[in-house]
Structure 1
Amino acid sequence: MHAMDLGRTGIWSIELRMADPGQITDAAAELDDLGWGALWIPGLGGGEILDDSERLLRATRSTTIAVGVMSIWRHQATEMAAGHERLQDKYGRRLVLGFGVSDPDAARSAGQAYRPLSDMNAYLDELDKAPTPLLAEERVIAALGPKMMELAAQRTAGVHPFMVTPEYSATARERLGDGPLLAPYQAVVLERDPGKARTAARNFLGMFLSMDHYARSLLRQGFTEEDLGGGGSDRLIDEVVAWGDLEAIGNRVRAHHQAGADHVCLHVVGTSSDLPLPEWRELAVLAG
């Protein structure tokens, strides 16, 4: 199974869903021109994910648009499959949809028990059985643990893991084998001052550290309970977030690639602007 080509690097951005639509359109067109292989948007709390994907597809010519990732509890499988097929036909097969099992609360609010593996399996079944099936090579899942990763390798193009280190990428590649796509998320702070950079990183990532599935993933990666406290220890922040100058960011991207990642998506955090265009432009030497 060959995944769609995402290139070596991409941009992951909340702003490309939440900013002013006109600004999003202009920014996406520029990111496409700068040569980024893929533009990733998060699932957030649901909403019109296909419309938001279409805005980016319409604004771009060659970059892949990827959703990383939507909750299976908030989006109906047959609807996603139908919408995906319509957009693939219209924009030249440039859309990858990512799915995640979220957490027990999300399942509960959908009136379901939470059995991550069988829930994801059942959802993939629905995507397969839809009148317009969503092809395995055009979908990924947010696998962190070994069993979910195995499922991803069997039934999707691969995995899009959140908050992981290059060491994790190496372990994941070993577990996935050669074929499947490994496209880790990488938070980035373009700031040389260690205090400022770590504060910016904590302001964004701190809230995820108390979420059970992310906490378990970080503990599996070798961090301790102490590392998870107070918005994250310096060690945790330094290993999970790439901060510093362009060279430092480039080194982290290379480390993921050398560990076996196919594609690294960079999320600029810690800027106050609506869209971090100056940072995206600066990072464009890493695009491709």
Structure 2
Amino acid sequence: MKLGRLGVWYSADKCNATQVGELVRVVERNGYSAYWYPEGRGHESMALASHLLCKSEKLMVGSSIANIYARDPWSARQGMLFLNEFYGDRFILGLGVSHKPMVEGLRGQTYDKPIGTMSAYLDGVHKGLPTGTAAPVVVAALGPKMLELAARKTMGAVPYNVTPRHTAIAKKILGPDKILAVEQKVTIETDPAKARALGRKELARYMVLPNYRNNWLREGFTEAELANGGSDRFIDAMCLWGDADTVRRGLRAHFDAGATHVCLQPVHEEGNMAARDKIIETLADV
């Protein structure tokens, strides 16, 4: 299983059934190696993966992430094996511990200690696999302990909402032979006010989640920079903007820091799928 240089991250919750298929075709037609999707409120992760794989021919499809509280390890393993058997080894199972409000508030479950819970879950996913089988599993890892766990028990990590500084740290922890697939928000907009407004709107949902806030503080941002929707410096780091060449340089900074794969997330005005597709087309040559 080979994951190429570039991918696209985009929530299927923003699309209807027809639009999801059209998006996958745009991603594949422009030469991206993978399409990554979150487990939103509108789609079950494994069912959505099957639809995405069915609508593509060679594209890798990765969950980023499948919530470990949404299904037991046996079900995750069986889903992973089924999808790869039926669709030519094109599925990557990206797993994450999610966030307390989404686990306890939405699902009514108890949010347990992330490292121990993920470690036990990974053991369950790998249990029963043939000896020597390299299961296509990666972990949404931000902090050093989760990155170390990803290095020990999986093929790598899929960090989200990070900077090249974090990419360099993650690479050092993971080592040279692991996947480091980094998500980066992008918009091709040269007006600073418009670009930052788009970035702030996209980031608003994440600003209240402790997992991300704690990592941003580790990265060197201050509490003041995370207040009131985020400072300009913070927004500029989280959502690259400018002309195409400027955005390309920002994406390449992750490769320079050690990323093996960068999945760009198009940020655009709500419902403007043409703008989304234009971003995908324009940045396919990073």
TM-score range, shorter chain: over 0.9
Which one of 243, 246, 266 corresponds to residue 245 of structure 1?
Answer: 243
| Pick aligned residue for 1:42 from 11, 26, 38 | 38
Output one character per residue of 1:46-88: Cα deviation in whole Å (capped at 9) or x when no partner. 7421121111111111121011012111122211211221111
Partners of 2:272 and 2:38 in 1: how far apart?
A: 16
List gaps (5 residues or longer) in structure 1.
Answer: none
- Which amino acid in the other structure matches residue 91 of structure 2? L
Identity rate, percent: 35
Please list, as runs of the form range in 1=range in 2, the aligned pairs for 1:95-244 lying within 5 A after superposition: 95-108=91-104, 109-129=107-127, 136-244=134-242
Distance 1:156 1:195, change over 3 A: same
Deviations 1:191-210 (A, max 9, x none): 11011000100001022122
RMSD: 1.9
Q: CA deviation at 1:113?
A: 4.9
Shift of 1:22: 2.0
* TM-fit CA distance, 1:231: 1.0
Change (3 A) 1:18 1:52: farther
Matching residue within 12, 31, 35 for 2:9? 12
Cα drift, residue 131 of structure 1: 7.2
SS at match of 1:184: strand
> 1:93-149 deviations in whole A, cap 9, x for unaligned?
00001111122344544533511111001111111125799x654011111000000
Paired AA for residue 33 in structure 2: G
- Cα distance in structure 2, aligned partners of 1:180 and 1:7: 13
Match of 2:283 in 1: 283
- Name whichever of 264-273 and 115-124 sits farther off: 264-273
Q: Which residue of 2 aligns with 1:91?
A: 87
Mapping 1:49-68, distance limit 5 Å? 49-68=45-64
Unaligned runs of 5+ in 2: none
Q: Return the letter of the residue paired with 1:8.
A: R
Secondary structure of the structure 2 residue equivalent to 1:264:
strand
Partner of 2:24: 28
TM-score, with length taken from structure 1: 0.91
Where 2:283 maps in the other structure, the secondary structure is helix
Q: Contact between 1:11 and 1:265, CA under 8 Å: does it hold in 2?
A: yes
The Cα shift of 1:274 comes to 5.6
Distance in structure 1 (CA, Å) of the matches to 2:84 and 2:173? 30
Judge conservation of contact 1:163–1:186 (CA < 8 Å) in 2: yes
| Counterpart AA for 2:81 | E
Is the contact between residue 157 and residue 180 of structure 2 (CA under 8 Å) also seen in structure 1? yes
Larger relative contact order (C-alpha < 8 A, sep ≥ 6)?
1
Aligned-partner SS, 1:74? coil
- Give a deviation string over 1:153-207, Cα, whole Å, max 9, x none: 0101111111111111111111211111111110111111011000100001022
SS in 1 for 2:77: helix
- What number of residue pairs does the alignment pair up? 281
1:261 to 259, 262, 266: 259
SS in 2 for 1:210: coil
SS at match of 1:82: helix
Distance 1:106 1:200 in 2: 24
Q: Determine helix, strand or coil for the equivalent of 2:217.
A: helix
Query: Greater share of helix residues, 1 or 2?
Result: 1
Give the TM-score of the pair, scaled to structure 2. 0.92
